[in-house]
Chain A
Amino acid sequence: MTRAKPEDDDWNSSKIHAFTFDDDDDEFTKLKESKRAVSSILVDDDDDDDDDDDDDVEKVSWSGEPVGSISWSVKETASSIRSGGEHGFPKINTAPSLPKQGSGYSLSSLFKASTRVYAPELRKPKSECKDYFSDWSPEETVKRMRKGKVYSLERFRSLQDKLLLLDEAVSAHDGNVITAVLIYLKKSLSKEIFFQELMVREIALRHYVHYLKEMEEQKTLVELMKLPFSQDDAIHVQDHYTLLERQIIIEATDKKGEAEIFKKFPRKASILNMPIITTLYYSCFYHYGESEGTFSSPANIRSTFRISEKQYILTALGARAKLKSWFDVDSLFNTKNWLGYTKKRSPIGFHRVVDILQKNNAPVQVLKDYVSLIDDAELKLSLAQKYKCHDIVIEMYRDLKDRQQLIVYQGKVERGSHEDRKIDQLLGNMQIRWKN
């Protein structure tokens, strides 16, 4: 709310400059450039590229440690500020810690980040008359841009001037101004030169990339960046194209919905553009049991996209349970050993299988088969109780010889039911040596 409105400056913004003090501005910037380069080499760590043309800046080092350790209260000599309420805060070094790669013009490359803190510079009353000129230095130009004052970029014509301007904008940490300068540079430099300079200025580059994204200038973006696709990513993209081909073939047939299953369970959406696992689920739902030769068969999808056994079982289980095809569910886990006995084996924990079955409203008769396969006794008992697989609970308490728990559990089963009788029988069995 205290910001100067642009109108205030309109009248002095005329591009006609009758008179100028700094007509050798280029010399001046070069001088400053070398001055800064030198000081940054000598001092090595604690120079900030923000110290502009005031030569009378007095640095007071401040350790950043608790107050009281070093007092550095600095009196403002300038009379432009009313005394009383001002609280001068010290400047801190905000240069990025990663050094940029060397470019002929990048000046800020040698600074290390440190927490060294300076006292505010002793500021001279600003010489307001400088506002009358359009020959502003990069520092002044950036300052004016940040304050929303009138400015002009036309005078930055040599590459060196342009880059000084850019580096100045970057060191001021104002993204708005950085982008504004980049837009000007884009317009006034050839692509080759512009990109070449951007490549060694990471912060500026990231602003430019973001600007292009927002402008939806995809073409320039592609030219600027070689898309970062790794070998792995290339495989994923290839998979995606294969998947799309398959989906188009499947969709063409299934859209007609002729098979019985489509009438019983009409499709809610097209399969096009769905992820691989959704496609596998779809195929397990509508095309289960098809031979591997057909594109729509689960087996084909499984092998084409190198789907792990675990992933396949989870997906097929979900689909077949949804259809309540408990026989299919059983055969997913059945394996025959060398003697010909069937045994259930699973790459996922049986508690997870139970969870999926239960979420698909499987009846207790089905659930109990899988609950009984859970390895972890504690988990098995709690799930058996949760899903009312009474037989399992009773047998487990019997095996644990836990008479007390069995009595407690009798309260949870229906009076006179098969389970109730079973518990009575066990409790009356004199041969069991109860532990309690």
Chain B
Amino acid sequence: MAQTDRRDAPGLPDFSLLKRLARDQLIYLLEQLPGKKDLFIDADLMSPLDRIANVTTLKQHEVDKLYKVELKPVVSVSDQLCFLIRPRIQTVKWIADVVKSDKAVGRFRRYKIIFTPQKFYACETVLEEQGVYGDVTSDEWEFYLLPLDDDIISLELPEFFRDNFLEGDQRWVTTAGSALRLLHFLFGPFSKVYGIGRCAKMVYESWREQVEDGEKKAQNPDIGNVFLIDRDVDFVTPLCSQVVYEGLVDDIFRIKCGSVEFGPDVTSTDKSLKVMLNSQDKVFNEIRNEHFSNVFGFLSQKARNLQTAYDKRCGMDIKQMKAFVAEELKGLKQEHRLLSLHIGACESIMKKKTKQDFQELLKTEHSLLEGFEIRECITYIEEHINRQVSMIESLRLLCLLSLTENGLLPKDYRSLKAQYLQSYGIEHLLSFANLRQIGLLVEQQPGETLTVMESKVGKLVNDKTAGKLTDAFSSLAKKSNFRALSKRLMLIPKTGEEYDLRVPRDMAYIFSGAYIPLSCKLIEQVLERDGWTGFEEVTRMLNGHEFAVTGGNSGTETRNKTDPQRIILVMFLGGCTFSEISALRFLGRERGCKFIVLTTAITNSSRLLESLLDNQG
């Protein structure tokens, strides 16, 4: 809570402009279809749309009724149907069906599809194949960027992760490049771009080409530096349990587009409540980046202060009372409401976490990160699976095990997979195939681990000892990148030292002092050394694809960093977690700079893994 900005820290640019631009373009597109019309909106576009326009705005532009796209026959009686959708083949197929069934009964309507943020050829091909191309007109709403908070901008494209990293479909590369182009145009020009990852490179190229082709204008930049990072550079961090307040709230209640729905157990009424969680919420703003263990103390202090403020009323005369009611009471009531809400949330979190033996879970996670007592960790995970505790949670632990150990031993892999399928169902066979493909849950290649020596020894001793020996040998033979990276970058603070979570000394505080997030550590180091020099070993372990480039006019950079130089846009391709954002905020405070996070979506372990499941049949 004592975390205040350095006085010389630069201010953040105002991103509300992005909302205005998006709204204006939407209005323009709606006006392209004059007259009354019904609007069908993709379910996952409703919240983003809510953040930039409201129903009144839509009604002003002759939108009559609003429907959610549900892929069912439509009941609308309007003569004009407008569809506001993401470019997905399934949705376009449904629209083609709507048009065809209207045709079949001789009904005439006008149809317009507004694709956002862009259309795909494959979607238009569906219209062509279904014989409705021409009956349906289409347009693009270039709504690339949604500011979720002062320092977070989201593309709201969760499918980016699966499409790019699992399916190998590069359809969103240009989209990401366009998003960057827009920021460059409005808040640039950027002077340096750093990056790592295959996708990051392609996005950089796409952006560069677009900037070269587009119009340019001279202006003073707000944002100087950009860092692009692929999600698959660091899978470990998003798979760890979040223990910083905002991340924890996301893990438990799921923050959607900057808003969360608190159930009756939090509100202690019989109603659920939707709350916006951002810097506007003064109470939240002070606890969002805190380790959960500090939050209680802070809230109770806050409650005491509030009581004192209320108590001032006693002994007031009429005039003072009048002033109190006019000036302070509203603010106090507001704070009171927020305070009781967050206290309720904390209680609910505590209850849930105690029930699932969170402490033991964290201990296992930390052991995995440290590479300590791996056999015990495997036993813990096995029992977790055997007891059919949360399917996603088991998968998360398996993936962490595989990532930190550079793959599972073949016998462990087979046994854990078999038990997993027995506990959670055969349909997860496909999930395992996906996880293997993306590299989250893999088997060590035979030969990599079994040395001649080991197999000889193995034959001589009994099974139990052999198991232990296997562990010992494999840890020698494996080329474990995470371990090596963690050692090289010093991601695991020394054990035994007391870590005061109230006064964090490094970014490890976001994981209780047990682990510095790899992604954020890379960003820190590259910015510090102004490139990748001396990091060849690290980039080799991360499979390369690193770059650091400078724009044409900034060759005369001085040592004194100007304000824009200290505003760094970090683009996460494939999503980032709230914990990473907290870590970057911490880093910014330490270094007197500001980070702006641009992400394809906010993610966490559940979202990341759920997007890789294949259980839709």
Contact = CB atoms under 8 A, between A and B. Distances in A.
Instruction: Point out which of A93, A209, A215 has the most chain B C-beta atoms below 10 A from its C-beta.
Output: A215
A319 to B, nearest CB: 12
A130 interface: no
Interface stretch (A9-17, A232-240, A419-427): A232-240
Interface residues of A, number: 82
Instruction: Point out which of A115, A175, A243 has the most chain B C-beta atoms below 10 A from its C-beta.
Output: A175
Given A87-B554, A311-B386, A214 B90 contact: yes
A310 B386 contact: yes
Given A175-B173, A276-B422, A96 B198 contact: yes
Nearest to B548: A64
B253 interface: no
Given A64-B549, A236-B426, A174 B170 contact: yes
A228 interface: yes
Contact of A307 (B174, B219, B422, B554): B422
Given A173-B173, A203-B170, A214-B89, A314 B122 contact: no
Instruction: Point out which of A148, A179, A237 has the most chain B C-beta atoms below 10 A from its C-beta.
Output: A179
Nearest to B198: A96
B327 interface: no
Contacts of A3: 142
Contact of B387 (A81, A117, A215, A314): A314
B552 A67 contact: no
Interface string A72-87: 0110000001101111
Interface string A329-348: 00000000000000000001
Contacts of B554: 67, 87
Contacts of B418: 232, 236
A30 interface: no
Contacts of A318: 387
A278 interface: yes
Given A173-B205, A179-B122, A275-B423, A64 B88 contact: no
A115 B422 contact: no
Interface string B303-323: 000000000000000000000
B415 to A, nearest CB: 8
A83 to B, nearest CB: 9
B211 interface: yes
B557 to A, nearest CB: 6
B530 interface: yes
A354 interface: no
Contacts of A199: none
A180 interface: yes
A56 B120 CA distance: 34
A236 B208 CA distance: 49
B167 A176 contact: no
A345 B191 CA distance: 68
A436 interface: no
Contacts of B167: 206, 209-210, 213
Contacts of B191: 87
Interface string A289-312: 000000000000000010110110
A178 interface: yes
Contact of A88 (B212, B218, B414): B212
Contact of B422 (A85, A173, A277): A277
B547 A179 contact: no
B6 interface: no
B201 A92 contact: yes
B120 A179 contact: yes
A226 B388 CA distance: 33
A183 B170 contact: no
Nearest to A169: B170
Given A66-B533, A314-B387, A87 B552 contact: yes
A89 B422 contact: no
A85 B216 CA distance: 7
Contact of A348 (B21, B383, B422, B551): B383
Instruction: Point out which of B217, B425, B533 has the most chain A C-beta atoms below 10 A from its C-beta.
Output: B425
A203 B140 CA distance: 27
A207 B547 contact: no
B201 A180 contact: no
Interface string B434-450: 00000000000000000
Instruction: Point out which of A89, A273, A278 has the most chain B C-beta atoms below 10 A from its C-beta.
Output: A89
B120 A97 contact: no
Report, as a range, how many residues of chain B touch the other chain: 35 or more
A275 B423 CA distance: 6
B211 A89 contact: yes
Given A146-B174, A175-B171, A73 B553 contact: yes
A318 B383 CA distance: 13
A239 B205 CA distance: 49
A211 B545 CA distance: 27
Contacts of A123: 212
Instruction: Point out which of A74, A87, A145, A179 has the most chain B C-beta atoms below 10 A from its C-beta.
Output: A87
B426 A237 contact: yes
B422 A177 contact: no
Contacts of A308: 419
A277 B388 contact: yes
Contact of A113 (B168, B214, B545, B551): B545
Contacts of A232: 414, 417-418
Contacts of A237: 426, 429
Contacts of B90: 214
B205 A88 contact: no
B387 A180 contact: no
Contacts of B533: 65-66
Interface string B210-224: 011111111100000
Contacts of A274: 425
Instruction: Point out which of B188, B206, B387, B551 has the most chain A C-beta atoms below 10 A from its C-beta.
Output: B387
A315 interface: yes
B122 A183 contact: yes
Interface in A166-213: 173-180, 183, 202-203, 206-207, 209-211, 213
A147 B90 CA distance: 24
B235 interface: no
Nearest to B415: A308
A206 B164 CA distance: 10
Contact of A89 (B118, B217, B552): B552
Interface in B536-593: 543-555, 557
A1 interface: yes
A65 B552 CA distance: 15
A223 to B, nearest CB: 19
B351 to A, nearest CB: 15
A53 to B, nearest CB: 16
Contacts of B188: 87
A68 interface: yes
B133 to A, nearest CB: 14
A86 B122 CA distance: 35
A29 interface: no
Nearest to A308: B419
Contacts of A236: 418, 421, 426, 429
B59 to A, nearest CB: 25
Given A87-B191, A89-B549, A315 B122 contact: no
A186 to B, nearest CB: 10
A233 B529 CA distance: 48
Interface of A: 1-3, 62, 64-68, 71, 73-74, 81-82, 84-94, 96-97, 113, 115, 117, 120, 123, 145-148, 173-180, 183, 202-203, 206-207, 209-211, 213-215, 228, 232-233, 236-237, 239-240, 243, 273-278, 281, 305, 307-308, 310-311, 314-315, 318, 348, 352, 355-356
Please name the 7 residue pairs, one residue from A and one from B, whose CB atoms are nearest each other, closest first: A175-B171, A85-B218, A206-B168, A180-B121, A87-B551, A175-B170, A88-B552
11 contacts: A1-B21, A65-B533, A82-B218, A85-B217, A89-B552, A175-B172, A176-B120, A183-B121, A275-B421, A275-B425, A314-B387
Given A65-B531, A183-B125, A311-B386, 5 more contacts: A115-B546, A120-B552, A176-B118, A233-B429, A239-B421
